[in-house]
Amino acid sequence: VKHHAVMPVPIPLATENASPLEWSEPQIRELVEQATTLMVDAQKNLDTALPTEPEPPWQELVRPPQECATSAGPLLELFARAANSSYDHRAPGFLGYVPSSGLATSAIAKMIASTFNCFTGVPDHAPALVRMEHALMRWVCELFGLPPTAIGTMTSGTSMATLIVVVTARQHRLGDHFAQGTAYVTAHTHQCVAKALRIAGLPPGAVRTVSTDDEGRMDPDAAVKLITADRRAGKQPFLLAATAGTTNTGSIDPLPELAALADTEQLWLHVDAAYGGGFQLTQRGRTRMNGIERADSIALDPSKSWFLPFGTGVLLVRDAATLHHTFAERHDYMTDLDKYAEVPSYTDLGPELSREYRALQLWLPFHLHGIAAFRDTLNTMLDLAQHAHHRLTAIPHLRTGPPPQLSIITFRLRDGTDQDNRDLLRRINRTGQAYLSGSVIDNRYTLRLVLLNHRLHRDHLDQTLNTIAATCGPPRAP
Ligand SMILES: Cc1ncc(COP(=O)(O)O)c(C=O)c1O
């Protein structure tokens, strides 16, 4: 709480001495109103994931900023045309990659948080906000069954969370001499793990690929053999990177077995739950991700399975002290800070000092909609995935992958080359009804359907499944 000896003199918005950057209240209000119209309109017309603006005005988009002011209307319109020339991840027909459906209430939270622009890198200047964030992150830790020593921090996404984990695990397990360090992944592990290892200075040979079972899950016995052979060769195994919901198929590594292995081998167990983690709100998700509570760290991505816009990742670490030992740094200009020992100093838990207050993007929607709304939507995704798998399996031309562990369904042509499957993907995407993506799974090009959008309903999905059924027959003669 701020105490002023004398009441400060109120400062009106924009007097005649004002900088041209200081806008008057009517100016700000008008821009907010224009932005509101733009943002509300942007929630409509999501019937295709394909670009709706075929010819954005390239010359105007790349024109350098001018000396003189330009009015807001044409600028916002220009932005909207550029945005509308993009693939729309918010559309219920966007079923490719791992979508981010961009919950509007979270986008609005972002605008509000940056309007207040409070400094939350350390607690001193915004203790209430840091306390809110810490309480929310502790709630997420408890959701995942982590102990009271655990802490959470918000990141820009899972690639950044993974980088923080890799540096922490490296520091904690290997200290400053890590040239012989090795980390264990599978062919289905997301590329962000290898990338983080490279950024963290580990040599290329540090990434060790363990084989998987028929459903793409890490084989713990194969991991033990590889780790044992590596130790004999003088390597220092330090990190076991499991995945709860792989990008390719949504499969979940055998977490209890991998946790036991990490214990025996003294490895840091990281679980990449970027896609799967959100499903922890559901009973089915919790059952399938059983064992995740034994992880040393978990990355989850609210911009994926909690439907938020891009830019909101969460990293949970079992022992807060490990993050602190890795990242805490105080130079002279910071020594008067840190008076709130009972809440974290987020700058000590990762690379950022100045940071966005991302917590509002999670806090506001969780409170506004209630947790049950998220759980119901995730359960709908799980149900729709079963339905889609069932319907695709009944199409004679297609061979589907195993029943979905979460909400990703894979399929390919029963008879067809990789090129035929690529052509099928192109034909489906050209319809505008749905946008899918493919991947190479078990050396064969495979199409994926990822159901992860709060705007996706059974009728959209059925239309998409009809489109796939109609498109996957032999191509018609031109
Ligand atoms: C399993 C998994 N891990 C990590 C990532 C990387 O996340 P981000 O794009 O937030 O960096 C993704 C992205 O789709 C993912 O699916």
Long-range contacts of 219-224 (CB under 8 A, 24+ apart): 220/254, 220/257, 220/258, 220/261, 223/184, 223/258, 223/261, 224/261, 224/265
pLDDT of amino acid 475? 53
Q: In what order do the strands lie in the sheet with 268-273?
A: 151-155, 313-317, 297-300, 268-273, 236-243, 181-186, 207-210
Q: What is the pLDDT of residue 12?
A: 61
pLDDT at 334: 82
**Residue 6 CB neighbours (<10 A):** 5
Per-residue pLDDT, 10: 65
Which pLDDT does position 131 carry in this prediction? Answer: 96
Q: 28: CA distance to ligand 1 center in Å?
A: 37
Of ligand 1's listed atoms, the one at least distance from the Cα of 156 is: 10
How confident is the chain (478 residues) per 10-residue block, as mean pLDDT?
A: 59 71 94 97 91 93 94 96 95 96 97 97 94 98 98 98 98 97 98 98 97 96 98 98 97 98 98 98 98 98 98 97 94 76 90 97 98 98 98 97 97 96 97 95 96 97 96 66
Q: What's the pLDDT at 3?
A: 53
Taking the C-alpha atoms of residue 180 and residue 234, their distance in angstroms, rounded to an integer, is 7
| Cβ–Cβ < 8 Å for 299, 313 | yes
**Predicted TM-score (pTM) of this structure:** 0.95
CA dihedral sign, ordered 114, 119, 123, 124: negative
pLDDT in tens, 163-200: 999 999 999 999 999 999 999 999 999 999 999 999 99
Helix axes 458-471, 371-393, angle to 10 degrees: 20
CA dihedral 207, 213, 215, 217 (to 10 degrees): -40
Q: How deeply is 188 buried, as exposed, middle or buried, from its count of CB atoms within 10 A (0-12, 13-18, 19+)?
A: buried
Q: Which residues, including other chains, have CB under 8 Å from residue 423's CB and lie 6 or more apart?
A: 475
Q: Is the dihedral of CA 338, 340, 346, 349 positive or negative?
A: positive
pLDDT tens sequence across 272-308: 999 999 999 999 999 999 999 999 999 999 999 999 9
> What is the spatial distance between Cα 46 and Cα 88, in angstroms, rounded to a whole number?
8
pLDDT, tens digit, for every residue of 92-119? 999 999 999 999 999 999 999 999 999 9
Which pLDDT value is given to residue 191? 97
- Tokens coding 274: 């970027």
Token pair for residue 295? 């992880």
Q: What is the pLDDT of residue 1?
A: 45
- Ligand 1 atom nearest to 313, measured from its CA: 10
Closest residue by Cα to atom 13, ligand 1, is 98
310 CA closest ligand 1 atom index: 10
The finding on whether 133 has its CB within 6 A of some atom of ligand 1 is no
Q: Using most ligand atoms within 8 A of CB, pick from 301, 361, 437 the residue to mutate for ligand 1.
A: 301
Is residue 94 classed as helix, strand or coil in its secondary structure?
strand
Residue with CA at minimum distance from ligand 1 atom 2 = 274
